C-alpha cells in the first residue's frame, strides 16, 4: 500500500495507541487524537492530504457520527471507518464507509483500512 495519511480519533488512549501502532506497521502516517473538538479544529486547518478518518463512535462532547458529518463538510470525499463496542445503539452509522465492532482483531482493522483505501 502506498503511504497514506490517516487521522485516528478515540477517547480511549489504549485503543488509540494500538491502532496507531498497527497502521504504522502498514506504512501509514498517523495523526492521533483523543479529543473530537480538537481533532476537528486541527483537521479543518490542516494541509495534510488525509485519505481516511478512523473514529470511535461513542465519545464524550461529540460522537463519531457528528464528527464525521462535520469533517465531510470540510472535505466531502474523505473515506471513513467507524468503530464501537455497541453498534446497535448508534443511529447514523451508515455515514461510514465501513463499520467495525470493538473489540476487533488486528487483521479486521487492516482489512477494513485496505478495503477503504483501495477504493481511494
Domain range spanning residue 12?
A: 5-118
20-62 pLDDT, tens per residue? 999 999 999 999 999 999 999 999 999 999 999 999 999 988 9
Q: How many residues does the chain have?
A: 120
Model confidence at 12: pLDDT above 70: yes
Residue 120: what pLDDT? 63
Categorize the per-residue pLDDT at 83 as very low, low, confident or very high, splitting at 50, 70 and 90: very high
Model confidence at 111: pLDDT above 90: yes
Categorize the per-residue pLDDT at 102 as very low, low, confident or very high, splitting at 50, 70 and 90: very high
Question: Torsion angle of alpha carbons 91, 97, 101, 106, nearest 10°?
Answer: -160
Residue 1: what pLDDT? 60
Query: Which run of H or of E encompasses 66?
Result: helix 64-74
Report which DSSP code applies to 87: G
CATH number at residue 112: 3.40.50.2300
- Based on the structure, what is the number of domains in the chain? 1
CA atoms within 13 A on the CB side of 99: 18
Amino acid at each position: 500500500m502506498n503511504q497514506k495519511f490517516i487521522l485516528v480519533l478515540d477517547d480511549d488512549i489504549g485503543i488509540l495507541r494500538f491502532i496507531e501502532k498497527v497502521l504504522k506497521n502498514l506504512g501509514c502516517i498517523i495523526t492521533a487524537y483523543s479529543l473530537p473538538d480538537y481533532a476537528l479544529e486541527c483537521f479543518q486547518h490542516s494541509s495534510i492530504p488525509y485519505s481516511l478518518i478512523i473514529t470511535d463512535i461513542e465519545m464524550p462532547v461529540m460522537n463519531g457520527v457528528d464528527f464525521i458529518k462535520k469533517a465531510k463538510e470540510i472535505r466531502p470525499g474523505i473515506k471513513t471507518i467507524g468503530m464501537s463496542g455497541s453498534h446497535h445503539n448508534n443511529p447514523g452509522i451508515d455515514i461510514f464507509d465501513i463499520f467495525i465492532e470493538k473489540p476487533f482483531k488486528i487483521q479486521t482493522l487492516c482489512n477494513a483500512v485496505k478495503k477503504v483505501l483501495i477504493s481511494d
